[in-house]
Structure 1
């Protein structure tokens, strides 16, 4: 399978140079084939929720490729409920960066983006997508919606893509402060975003449908929070990519019936799972799923499990407003990724205790200044709270950075340390 994926990725890159539209059609066909495999032969995805969210995320990648006229490009933290009400598909820049890397088709697009002036230190997820878009592989969206949360690359990426595609762009500015005035400010912008959507589509958004969709989002987040508590005492072997699938479901797909069904299945899977065993790790930031030696340490391993990732739970709040715009605004303003990095770290310590994690991993994705800058403070804070912390440096999707063996070696040593702390028991 690895050889097939490698060959397919290389072919997509080569074909894109000659015929981008044909390359796009074959990429869509390849993703549809993978989706069929996930539905019919999920392999080691024994947890029903893991299979559901993999299929859901795959569908979200296929939709804008197959029907770009119904797609709106979005950044990861943008509330997408208004799009759902209007029947539009979210078109994820970060998602395609991740998926093209999984297809092993990222290299040519990274090199092209850098040749067009993007620095090596720019986020590789964004660079992959920009390269693929400017080479013609990615289709033109109806329009672009983005937020300033939480990546500084957002400010350049979506403006550049709007200029490249020649489409309107609406940006939601999220203040650095976390208070009610910031919530009111963002809620007003989201109302303006709805007006923008109505103007662009010629459709009137149903307030009652939006209220129902946002209420579904709130239930889904509450379900996932309960799942984290139940999961603390259960063993649910999983794979690294599963956390990224869940992150997409709980962000750009939040509010859909499929995401609510996924969170309900998570609860069911946790209730039926065997008692907890092995070393339990809480992951922070994106996961370098392409690093095979690292995946061998954690994937489907009862002795070592990634029990959570802050990309999934950063927006969960105790309560949300009944007003849909205010509730969506609360999600981004009070996100653990907004404001000083200490908020993100504190949320991580809280989640580690909730999940009964034995240790935390802080992954410094190359190009993410927020994560890199907070690494030392994170290590000090976690360890001050009695939670061992491993800081790993690498790249979430760019294979040219290398270091696979070093990542796995450091993880193995960290796991051994945690085992000793548990009395030598896996």
Structure 2
């Protein structure tokens, strides 16, 4: 399968230079084939909930390629419920950067983006997408919606893409502070975004349908929070990519019936799972799924499991307003990724205790200043709280970054240390 993917990715890159439209058609066909494989032959070890998230995410990648006339390009933290109500498809920049890397088709797009002036230190998820867009593999969206949360690359990427595609762009400014005033400010912008959508589509946004959709989002996040508590004493093996599929389900696809069904299935899977065993790791930031030696440590391994990722739980709050605009604004403003990095660390420590993690991994994705800048503080704070913390440096989707062996070696040493500590505590 690896050889097939490698060959397919190389062919997509070569074909894109000659006929971008045909390359896009074949990419869409490849993603549809992968969706069928995930639906009917997901492989041994994949839980039902992980399968549901994977299929749902594949659908979200296929839809903008197949129906760009109904696609709105979005940043990861943008509340997408209004799009769902209007029958539009969220078109994820970060998602396609991740998927093109998974297709092993990222190289030519990274090189092109850098040749067009993007620095090496720019986020590779964004660089891949910009390169693919400007080489015409990615279709033109109806318009672009973005927030300033949580990546500084957002400020450049979506403005650049709006200029390149010559489409309208609506940006939501998220204040650094976390208080009701900031929530009101963002809620007002979300109402303006709703008016923008009505103008662009010629459709009226149903407030009752939006209320129903946002209420579904609130239930889904509450379900996932209960799942995290339940999995504290359960063995649920999975793979790195599963956390990223869940992150997409709980962000750009939040509010859909499919995401609510996914979170309910998470609860069922936890209820049916055997008692916990092995070393339990809480991951922070994106997962470098392309690093095979690292995946061998964590994927479908009873002895070592990832029991959570902050990309999935950063937006969970104790309660949300019943007003849809206030609830969406609360999710953004009170995100653990907003404000000082200490908020993200606090949320991570809370989650580590909730899922009974033996240790935490803080992954410093190359180009993410927020994660890189907070690494040493995170390590100090986690360990002061009694939670061992490993800081890993790498890239979430750029294979040319290298360092695969070192990542795996450091992870293996960290796991061995945690095994020894668990053994000592058991005596």
Q: Which residue of 1 is the match for residue 25 of structure 2? A: 25
Deviation at 1:46, TM superposition (A): 3.1
C-alpha distance in 2 between matches for 1:206 and 1:421: 55
CA distance, structure 1, for counterparts of residue 154 and residue 304 of structure 2:
34
SS of the residue corresponding to residue 367 of structure 2 reads coil
The answer on whether the counterparts of 1:280 and 1:307 sit within 8 Å (CA) in structure 2 is yes
Q: Which residue in 2 is equivalent to 1:58?
A: 58
For 2:45 and 2:78, locate their aligned partners in 1 and report how far apart those are by CA, in whole Å: 29
For 2:183 and 2:401, locate their aligned partners in 1 and report how far apart those are by CA, in whole Å.
39
| Structure 1 residue 363, shift from structure 2 partner | 0.1
**Partners of 1:405 and 1:425 in 2: CA distance:** 30
Q: Partner of 1:275: helix, strand, or coil?
A: coil
The question of 1:223 aligning with 2:211 is answered no
Distance 1:405 1:44 in 2: 26
How many residue pairs align between the two structures? 426
Which residue is 2:34 aligned to? 34
Per-residue CA shift, 1:389-419, capped at 9, x if unaligned?
0000000000001000000000000000000
**Whole-Å Cα distance in 2 between the matches of residues 410 and 41 of structure 1?**
33
Q: For residues 349 and 302 of structure 2, what CA distance do their matches in structure 1 show?
A: 23
Q: Given that residues 112 and 131 in structure 1 are in contact (C-alpha distance below 8 angstroms), is that contact kept between their aligned partners in structure 2?
A: yes
| Residue of structure 2 in register with 1:199 after alignment | 199
Change (3 A) 1:249 1:306: same
Cα shift readout 1:222-257 (whole Å, capped 9, x = no counterpart): 000000000000000000000000000000000000
Give distance in 2, aligned partners of 1:132 and 1:42. 28
Secondary structure in structure 2 of the residue aligned to 1:274: coil
Q: Which residue of 2 aligns with 1:209?
A: 209
Q: Is the 8 A contact 1:419 1:425 kept in 2?
A: no
SS class of match (1:43): coil
TM-score (norm 1): 0.99
What are the Cα deviations for residues 5-27 of structure 1, in whole angstroms up to 9, with x where unaligned?
Answer: 00000000000000000000000
Structure-to-structure mapping, 1:244-283, within 5 angstroms? 244-283=244-283
CA distance, structure 1, for counterparts of residue 342 and residue 138 of structure 2: 37
Conserved 8 A contact 1:47-1:269? yes
* 398-407 or 39-48, which deviates more: 39-48
Cα distance in 2, alignment partners of residues 44 and 181 from structure 1: 49
Contact 1:278 / 1:425 at 8 angstroms: preserved in 2?
no
Distance 1:46 1:54 in 2: 10
**Corresponding residue for 1:362?**
362
Summarize deviations over 1:120-162 as a string: whole Å, max 9, x none: 0000000000000000000000000000000000000000000
Query: What is the root-mean-square deviation of aligned Cα atoms in Å?
Result: 0.9
Q: Give the SS at the match of 2:423.
A: coil
Tell me the equivalent position of 1:333. 333
- Shift of the 322–357 alpha-carbon distance from structure 1 to 2, 3 Å rule, reads same
Offset at residue 45 of structure 1 (A): 4.3
Structure 2 counterpart of 1:393 = 393
Q: List gaps (5 residues or longer) in structure 2.
A: none
Q: State the partner residue of 1:71.
A: 71
- In the alignment, the residues of structure 2 paired with residue 7 and residue 339 of structure 1 have an alpha-carbon distance, to the nearest angstrom, of 43
CA distance in 2, matches of 1:44, 1:393: 30
In 2, Cα distance between the equivalents of 1:292 and 1:425? 32
Aligned residues of 1:77 and 1:149 also touching (Cα < 8 A): yes
What pairs up with 1:303-314 in 2 under 5 angstroms?
303-314=303-314
Give the CA deviation at 1:359. 0.1
Gapped regions of structure 1 (runs ≥ 5): none
Give the SS at the match of 2:171.
strand
CA distance in 2 between counterparts of 1:313 and 1:250 reads: 8
- In the alignment, the residues of structure 2 paired with residue 357 and residue 239 of structure 1 have an alpha-carbon distance, to the nearest angstrom, of 16
Moved over 2 A (4+): none
Output the CA distance in 1 between the equivalents of 2:207 and 2:74: 21
Contact 1:365/1:393 (8 A) holds in 2: yes
1:44 Cα offset (Å)? 2.5
* CA deviation string 1:91-141 (max 9, x = no partner): 000000000000000000000000000000000000000000000000000
| Partner residue, 1:292 | 292
